[in-house]
């Protein structure tokens, strides 16, 4: 639940910072450039650097803001700097602090799902959020798809002149790397049902196969041997798309089969026609039948890789640049802005979600 009074300046800056962007280029040009121009115009050369305190960061991991359009912010993680900060960034639970300076704002910066990391004790303390959800103050997805047409691409290696046959040499069908066998998501039950109708090799604590996940040999195994990867999240929550989708599947030229965020939510971040979603099927058997069809039809299979000719995915969403701009904009807010119950807001993202049909 968000509580605030009507404020034109507040709504405008929050809109510019959190609007769903189609790709990184549009975000950078329309949000970073536009917002920074407005901020710089208001600063008009009379700059008081804003102080940003990163509560859970070590000093060696603090961001370098010199590359940002608006960079007039001092960043620190030293405990003594918190009291004088304009904006405090939390990556975990904030402290039980009552003597918060009047002009200080707090922001939650987190990319884990509410089911994995709930916030239950942050009422009336968090002013802004930077998370993967589209209704955050600042949207920070794991990755974002970028088209070649929307960027000045200098790295020609990212372009593919001819569409390859990505089925060549792949003799196995479905793989899954998974170590968390619990959780609210029905993903393990779905995978076991799917195994009745198609080869599904499960690596890790929840399966019979082993591979040191995260090492290049495991990802190379995906790339050379498998056609599909189960990108099954451990949480069924709004907009939650973790590195499994991008790092495990797309980066290794296998088609991700998705469970977690809804199909519409995945479309916002993913390359076009790059994934298969379990919600499109009435049972695990129906999904297996479709995967068998793609296995037999290399033309249909390769349709899922056409996006390689048109773009790539990038992890840089310029979050720290936006945090600096937000710090400068807070003074222009007519009224205070805060999350009445941050824990409730986050938990609502996982309530009443559509569950996949298994049988």
Which residues belong to the active site? 112
The conformation of residue 234, written as its DSSP 8-state character, comes to S
Q: Count other Cβ atoms within 10 Å, centred on residue 49.
A: 13
Dist. CA 7–CA 5, nearest whole Å: 6
Residue partners of 181: CB distance under 8 A and separation at least 6: 188, 205, 206
Angle ∠(278,356,276) on CA atoms, nearest 5: 10
Distances (CA, A) of 307 to 27, 146, 162: 20, 10, 12
Dist. CA 30–CA 211, nearest whole Å: 43
Dist. CA 228–CA 312, nearest whole Å: 19
Return the HEC string of 91-153.
CCCCCCCCCCCCCCEEEEECCCCCCCCCCCCCECCCCEEEECCCCCCEECCCCEEEEHHHCCC
């Amino acid at each position: 639940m968000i509580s605030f009074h009507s404020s034109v300046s507040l709504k405008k800056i929050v809109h510019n910072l959190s609007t769903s962007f189609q790709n990184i280029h549009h975000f950078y040009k329309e949000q970073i450039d536009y917002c920074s121009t407005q901020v710089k115009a208001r600063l008009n050369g009379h700059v008081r650097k804003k102080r940003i305190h990163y509560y859970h960061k070590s000093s060696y991991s603090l961001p370098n803001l010199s590359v940002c359009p608006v960079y007039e912010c001092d960043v620190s993680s030293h405990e003594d700097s918190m009291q004088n900060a304009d904006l405090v960034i939390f990556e975990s639970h904030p402290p039980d602090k009552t003597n918060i300076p009047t002009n200080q704002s707090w922001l939650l910066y987190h990319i884990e799902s509410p089911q994995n990391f709930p916030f239950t004790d942050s009422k009336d303390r968090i002013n802004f959020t930077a998370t993967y959800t589209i209704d955050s103050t600042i949207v920070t997805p794991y990755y974002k798809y970028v088209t070649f047409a929307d960027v000045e691409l200098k790295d020609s290696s990212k372009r593919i002149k001819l569409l390859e046959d990505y089925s060549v040499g792949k003799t196995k069908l479905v793989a899954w790397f998974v170590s968390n066998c619990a959780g609210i998501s029905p993903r393990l039950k779905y995978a076991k049902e799917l195994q009745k109708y198609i080869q599904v090799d499960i690596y890790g604590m929840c399966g019979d196969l082993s591979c040191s996940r995260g090492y290049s040999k495991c990802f190379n195994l995906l790339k050379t041997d498998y056609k599909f990867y189960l990108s099954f999240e451990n949480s069924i929550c709004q907009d939650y798309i973790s590195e499994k989708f991008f790092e495990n599947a797309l980066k290794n030229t296998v088609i991700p089969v998705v469970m977690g965020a809804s199909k519409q939510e995945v479309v916002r971040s993913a390359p076009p026609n790059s994934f298969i979603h379990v919600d499109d099927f009435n049972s695990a058997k129906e999904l297996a039948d479709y995967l068998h069809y793609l296995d037999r039809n290399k033309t249909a299979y390769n349709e899922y890789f056409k996006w390689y000719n048109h773009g790539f995915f990038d992890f840089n969403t310029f979050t720290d640049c936006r945090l600096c701009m937000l710090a400068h904009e807070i003074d222009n807010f007519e009224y205070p802005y805060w999350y009445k119950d941050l824990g409730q807001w986050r938990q609502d993202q996982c309530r009443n979600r559509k569950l996949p049909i298994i049988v």
